Amino acid sequence: MFNPNDVAVFNGNIFGLPYTYSEAETVIIPVPWDVTTSYHKGTANGPKAVLEASPQLDFYNAFVKNAWEHKLFFEPINDYWVKKNQELNKLSADLIAKMESGIPFTAEDEANLNEINKASEELNQFVYEKAQAIFEDGKKPVLLGGDHSTPLGIIKAYSEKYEELSVLQIDAHADLRIAYEGFKYSHASIMHNVLSETDIEMLIQVGIRDICDDEIKYIEKEPRINTFFDWELKHQLYEGKTWDTLCSEIAVRLTDNVYISFDIDGLDPKLCPNTGTPVPGGFELEQINYLLLKIVDSGKKIVGFDLNEVSPDRFNPNNDWDANVGARALWMLSCFLKEQ
């Protein structure tokens, strides 16, 4: 018998929950992938680190009754992708170094770039088919990255399953670059790829604070995007507007079915110091919790999510702070699915 008040035991499942795949309502797809990460590598180790940090959480949720009864199952981390990621990271590190020093590509570099783009396509297809299979089993797929390139396939599956889906993106970056550093499926291109390869209705971006001119132009001319920049939100807070009001203003932009793509770097970097591309500014986790409560209160439905860019400490394997926060973010998002 599982007692949610007991000390959690590491049983291989997320949060030490006692559910199998066949019992599960929600299945977490871990994606150990960070091939296109340009700054700090390490988000490929995010799923394992979050899984290991997860049993220490307590299950009480002030807003969701018996939250632990939500039957969550964590799929085994797929070894094929772990190996593929390691292999390709050697190639991509070299390409990125050349690009950043302005060294022209040789024919071999071009071939390597092609190989990475092909593998990314293969990964997207794998995630898409996995998500579809979970839907077909009458369960809900959610995704834990990896870098922010990983959720394209699952967002595609959701956009086919749900009509008028909007994506709520919590992120420091707009991720609207077209083939960043030559990588078609870059972490920095995910929302461009979502807009061009799925039929989502709206993209609502929150917390964006590190962005280039081309992305600003993209946002201005694309009617499906609505961006709440970090500086706009913060200035309004400083001027006395409440977070409650701002959350209502965000919620009203969403369609009835909401998918959340949560890049951990949308939070204040003190909560994710080892993430791939940390940026000062951002949110407390409780502010995002409040935003999601407001969205549900406004009558909209949170149907699915991904959490990405969580990375363990590269220098100190005993420091599990990033993974700890990641596990709490995952728990928070999961609770919003149970409530539906």
The residue ranges that bind Mn ion (CB under 5 A) are 148, 171, 173, 175, 263
Residue 152, Cβ neighbours under 10 Å: how many? 26
We find the least distance from the C-beta atom of residue 326 to Mn ion, in angstroms, to be: 14
Return left, alpha or beta for 57; rule: phi > 0 is left, psi -120 to 50 is alpha, else beta: beta
34 vs 171 by CB, closer to Mn ion: 171
Q: Which is nearer to Mn ion, 112 or 149 (CB)?
A: 149
DSSP for 184-242, written as a single string: TT-GGGHHHHHHHHS--SEEEEEEE-B--HHHHHHHHH-TTEEEEEHHHHHHHHHTT--
C-alpha to C-alpha distance for 276 and 145, rounded to whole angstroms: 12
Q: Which is nearer to Mn ion, 171 or 320 (CB)?
A: 171
> Which CB, 263 or 320, lies closer to Mn ion?
263
Count of residues in the chain: 340
Do 144 and 47 contact (CB within 8 A), yes or no? yes
Q: How many CA atoms lie within 13 A of 65 on its CB side?
A: 1
DSSP-assigned letter for residue 17: -
- Compare residues 112 and 150 and give the one whose CB is closer to Mn ion: 150
User: In whole angstroms, how close is the CB of 138 to Mn ion at the nearest point?
Assistant: 31
Residues 6+ apart with CB under 8 A from 291: 206, 247, 250, 251
Q: How far is the CB of 338 from Mn ion (least distance, A)?
A: 26
Q: For residues 337 and 319, give the distance between their C-alpha atoms in angstroms, rounded to a whole number.
A: 29
DSSP string, 34-59: -TT--S---GGGHHHHHHHHGGG---
**CB 266, min distance to Mn ion, A:** 8
Helices and strands (DSSP H and E) totals, the chain: 10, 8
Q: Rounded to an integer, what distance in angstroms lies between the CA atom of residue 54 and that of residue 320? A: 10
Contacting residues for 38 by C-beta, under 8 A, at least 6 apart: 96, 100, 180, 181, 188, 277
When the beta carbons of 71 and 173 are compared against Mn ion, the nearer one is: 173
Least separation in angstroms between residue 148's CB and Mn ion is: 4
Q: Which is nearer to Mn ion, 134 or 176 (CB)?
A: 176
Least separation, in Å, of the C-beta of 114 and Mn ion?
24
Please measure the distance between the N-terminal and C-terminal CA atoms of the chain and give it in whole angstroms.
26
- Alpha-carbon distance of 300 to 258, in angstroms, equals 7
Q: Which two tokens stand for residue 218?
A: 């993209």
Cβ 94 to Mn ion shortest distance, Å = 24
Shortest distance (Å) from residue 220 CB to Mn ion: 20
Find residue 74's DSSP bridge partners.
28
Nearest distance from C-beta of residue 282 to Mn ion, angstroms: 12
Task: For Mn ion, give the closer residue by CB, 159 or 193.
Answer: 193
For residues 73 and 183, which CB has a smaller minimum distance to Mn ion in the complex?
183
